Structure 1
Amino acid sequence: MAITTPPREPDSMPVAERHHPPAASEPLSRTVFAALAGAEGVEPTDLDFELYDYLDPEALDALYRHSSSGEDWSVTFAVRDYEVRAESSGRVAVYEIG
């Protein structure tokens, strides 16, 4: 089963963006959650959903933790009205869908 999202405009700018430092003690999934909160204009504790409702945050964290420095990858997934792109560089960008 494939899950698809409506495409966003190719030149659209992210509505929120965060960078996850390589030496951060917190997992990448927290940076993703913070970026989503930024897109909503609220604090992460004020979001009314959980990230695990949309993807497995532990799998995302493991991918980031276990990727070697030379590997480039990105993961794109939908959360509500947003497309989230997390990259091996630590960049997390949130785009509006549609």
Structure 2
Amino acid sequence: MSQNVIAKIVEEVADAEGVEPSELDLTLYNHIDTDALVRLVNAEKGSWRLSFDIPGYTVTVRSDGSTLVEPKQ
């Protein structure tokens, strides 16, 4: 999954916002260390879940490669 996790998150946020990814005013690395996230995903050791907040949403990435972008309530 490697770098694809970043693209996947950006695409899901764009979908939630109803815009194209290029139209987002979001710099993901301002909210999480994207290099560390890619290293974690590439390690693929055990079962884990990582959640972090970005403006308006909570993002969850799991060891199975799934990502979830949920609006904050």
TM-score w.r.t. the length of structure 1 is 0.68
2:16 paired residue number: 39
Structure 2 distance, partners of 1:89, 1:41, is 26
Query: Which of 47, 53, 58 in structure 2 is aligned with 1:72?
Result: 47
Q: Which sections of structure 2, spanning at least 5 residues, go unmatched?
A: none
Greater radius of gyration (CA)? 1
Q: Which sections of structure 1, spanning at least 5 residues, go unmatched?
A: 1-21
Task: Report runs of 4+ in structure 1 exceeding 2 Å deviation.
Answer: none
Greater length-normalized contact order (CA 8 Å, ≥ 6 residues apart): 1
Q: How many residues align?
A: 73
Alignment of 1:1-98 (within 5 A): 22=1, 26-68=3-45, 71-98=46-73
Q: How far 1:53 moved relative to its partner?
A: 1.2
Q: Deviations over 1:10-49 (max 9, x none)?
A: xxxxxxxxxxxx5xx7431111111111111111111012
Alpha carbons 2:9, 2:67 under 8 Å: kept = yes
Instruction: Tell me how large the CA RMSD over aligned residues is.
Output: 1.4
Structure 1 distance, partners of 2:18, 2:67, is 16
Higher share in helix: 2
TM-score w.r.t. the length of structure 2 is 0.88
Structure 1 distance, partners of 2:64, 2:19, is 25
Structure 2 distance, partners of 1:26, 1:41, is 23
Structure 1 distance, partners of 2:34, 2:11, is 13
